[in-house]
Chain A
Amino acid sequence: MKKLSILLTAMVFAAATFAVEIGKPAPDFTGTDINGKTVKLSDYKGKIVVIESYNSDCPFCMNHYTTGAMQELQRNLAAKDVVWLIVDSVNKKNPSYRTPEQARKELADQKITATAWIDDHSGDIGHLYGMKTTPHMFVIAKDGTLAYDGAIDNRPQPFGDPRTAKNYVSAAVDELLAGKPVTVSQNKPYGCGVHYAN
């Protein structure tokens, strides 16, 4: 029994070692969005994809949305033909969980213009990508490789104007579009912990 538990721990460690990696193909996933539509990452091959780990009750996310900075970024990137996927991995028992109806209302109220809001209450996509916080951001290049994994910007505060910070996501997208290597490809995401299902 003890051996088994050691083996299991070792497997957890092995799994953690082989999480998503910069420069490697981003793992494909299939999810259901808040309109019941199936969303498959590989359907967007050939386009830059931004993934956002989302929970609008988290004060860090909330600040990005109440100031309008996040919606502005979504619009700017959409104009550059960038796909934006919101992944909401909050479990169903958490007060921050949104039913599809609540989510549709929030999307409209907040004027969110993401390509899709994926309901990931099982945490499958969150775990696959090793999402730690909300907001934890990923940028996938047109060839399907992971180009950025980390914080949205260099200002880990739940207050103030995010536009004054250096936004890593928009920098990574601009560099990818210009055909340049991504300067900051990885850092530690900040925010609230993702409220995964147990």
Chain B
Amino acid sequence: MRNIFKLTGLICLLATTMAHAAHTEAKLVLATAAARPGDMIWAGVDLKMDAGWHTYWKNAGAAGLPTKIEWQLPPGVTAGEIEWPLPQIIPPTEVITYGYEHEVVLLVPLTLATNLNPGPLVLKADVSWLECKEQCVPGSAKVEATLNIGSETKISANAAMIESWRGRVPKAGNIFPFRAAWEKPATGDMRPLLLVLPVFEHDKWPPITGANFFPDASDEFEVQAAAEMISNPSVEFEFRKLVKKFSGDWPKQISGVMVIERNGNREGYEVKLPVSGQAPAIAGTSSATALPSQSLWKMLVYAFIGGLILNLMPCVLPVIALKILGFVNESKSEPLHIRAMGLVYAVGVLVSFLALAAVVISIKAAGHQAGWGMQFGNPVFLACLTVLVTLVALNLFGVFEVTISGRALDAAGTLASKSGAAGAFFNGVLATALATPCTAPFLSIALGFAFAQSAAFIVLIFLAVGAGLAAPYVVLSWNPAWLKFLPKPGAWMEKFKIAMGFPMLATTAWLFNLASGSYGKNVLWLGLFLVVMALAAWIFGEFFQRGRKRRGIALAITLVLLIGGYAYALENQLRWRETVAETATTGSLKESPDGIDWQPWSPEAVAKARSGGRPVLVDFTADWCLTCQVNKKTSIEISSVRAKLKELDAVALLCDYTRTPSNILTELKRFDRAGVPLVLVYPKAAAEPPIVLPEVLTPGIVLDALDRAAH
């Protein structure tokens, strides 16, 4: 009798559960009807909800419960994690949740062991969920499906349906350069977070009409669902979310799905974003005001040290030759005069850096992106610098003099100090111009920071770099004691000066090569112009400056040669001021038959390689970036790295910054860099963030990073 009561109770309980949970229907579907041992097949739990009812995503949001699948699988079959299609936002605004209405197929990869016996296999699972409309009801179902193990793989009638749901699963790999940053300090346990997508190849993508971020669930904090779009024309989109902290520190990283709407479609991208301490730069001047002063001081110190190290980078070496000559020149002068020269040199450097800062600020104000060394992507700048450096070499060779009294090396007094000042100032300008294609350790951090700040910070950081660059000379010129180590001035100096012309000439050759990248074969006309200019310089020096008779004719010939050469070679033939169309590169960028098989970089190429489970090496480089070239020769394009890349089946992607396309600048900014070099190694595991290598590489650093990426 008691048992009958129990039974009746059980039936009643079952009946109520069934009645209540009738709003969602669950079944198990397989993409394959038959499979071979060792295959990976896709299973889907298909949930169909009645109108108005919904079930939940892996992070249910402010309320609700994620759907759970508990498998009962025969031996030899293992289930992976659920892959969740992109959910939708479910109101009301006070309690926003993430879930699915009408239908969803939760996808699970099933791996079949290689030793499975042929025949039918029954796959079972207990599915439980919470379904809600005006009320919430827990639901559950036992589902099953049969899979035939045999010698061939056959798709099932559900294959297309499962495939289309797989297309709705957020894509892995950071295709878009999203950024996250705290907008300001916390108010209690709430803190506003800004999520930004910087400008991203406008012409190639349909305009983005909406965006949101669906966070992964966390016990320590909650990224709240409400999103407030911020109208900011200088970025693709920007929106604000509130983060509520429950315990621990403010998160350093947020993960989840970034949702983009365009063309009437929603696309999801899995992201893991580091949360930077201050607002992203692109937002403009207003957001940079809340910058903590402590980090500014740190960045100023970095900028100074970076400038100091810049003296040792390959770009500035030719100028060092000039400086050595300058010091020898001055060694016999008054200590006071030497100090003055040191300071004038520093002023030359600082003024040049101010000019650079002004250019960067104006470019940013115009809504474009600025990068360190970007002027080297401009052929007009390259042509001018080539001409300038050639003239410096010719001057060192003694073909002509820059100053009237320059040849009178022993002349002292006010005149010499004046002309010496002009020379020292010019040295400072030249050192800066030649320093820009290099970045140095510390410098890249400071510049990456500076490019993201308001005008005042850019000026401060640039001045700090300039101060660092000039500091060794100012310090040396301040202490006359060291001058004793220099040889006595004399006739040898004229020979030394000529010898110093050769490093300068080497710089000309390098710049000429860079210019050829923009002008192609026509660069010949630039070369011919350099020859005509050299001839003009010789006539000027020999017959005007040092000549006694008919100096007017010499000057006239000089001008005719210069103007004629310019008009014919540069304007008429080279058309040097016209921008040259970029040539698209596709296919392998191998440098030698047994070299690394470089492929052109694109965000899509990175995502593709990572979805194939392969580690990726990305080299952001430029022809004019000497640090990059040195890195490549010593630590990347070497046999041990080639062998390691082959061994790990890694993909090597080359990104040429030579002509600074904006999407590369965007990518560099993601890693807080203002310019190249930037070498990244993406780990095999697609969820892991890339390893950022330091600016100056050794083979050990590259090999070690590749090894870590493969595990």
Interface residues of A (CB under 8 A from B): 6, 9-10, 12-13, 16-19, 21-22, 24, 57-59, 94-96, 123, 126-127, 132-133, 150, 156-159, 184, 186-196, 198
Contact = CB atoms under 8 A, between A and B. Distances in A.
B593 to A, nearest CB: 59
Contacts of A19: 190
B468 to A, nearest CB: 42
B132 interface: yes
25 contacts: A6-B231, A13-B240, A16-B224, A16-B242, A17-B187, A21-B188, A21-B189, A57-B135, A59-B136, A59-B137, A95-B135, A96-B135, A126-B94, A133-B63, A157-B65, A158-B65, A159-B138, A192-B63, A192-B132, A193-B63, A193-B94, A193-B95, A193-B136, A196-B92, A196-B94
B501 interface: no
A191 B135 CA distance: 11
Interface string B215-241: 000010010101010010000000010
A59 B135 CA distance: 9
B115 interface: no
Contact of B190 (A16, A189, A192): A16
Contact of A158 (B138, B187, B231): B138
A9 B219 CA distance: 27
Given A17-B187, A186-B247, A188-B246, A94 B65 contact: no
B278 interface: no
Nearest to A184: B247
Given A17-B187, A198-B92, A190 B134 contact: no
A22 B63 contact: no
B24 interface: no
Interface string B62-105: 11110000000000000000000000000010110100000000
The 8 closest A-B pairs by CB, nearest first: A193-B95, A193-B63, A192-B136, A21-B188, A133-B63, A158-B138, A132-B62, A186-B246
- The listed residue with most A CB atoms (<10 A of its CB), out of B62, B65, B136, B188, is B136
Nearest to B240: A13
Contact of B64 (A17, A193, A194): A193
A61 B92 CA distance: 20
B691 interface: no
B130 interface: yes
B10 to A, nearest CB: 15
Contact of B187 (A12, A18, A126, A156): A18
A111 to B, nearest CB: 20
- Identify whether the interface residues of B are mostly helix, strand, loop, or mixed: strand
Nearest to A61: B136
Nearest to B97: A193
Contacts of A186: 189, 245-247
B379 to A, nearest CB: 44
B65 A132 contact: no
A6 B228 CA distance: 9
B629 to A, nearest CB: 50
A127 B94 CA distance: 8
Given A9-B228, A13-B226, A198-B92, A59 B130 contact: yes
Contacts of A57: 135-136
A16 B225 CA distance: 12
Contacts of A6: 231
- The listed residue with most B CB atoms (<10 A of its CB), out of A13, A21, A156, A190, is A13
B134 A195 contact: yes
Contacts of B92: 193, 196, 198
Contact of B228 (A13, A21, A133, A188): A13
Contacts of A127: 94
A194 B134 contact: no
A58 B136 contact: yes
B95 A22 contact: no
Contacts of A13: 192, 226, 228, 240, 242
Contacts of A150: 246
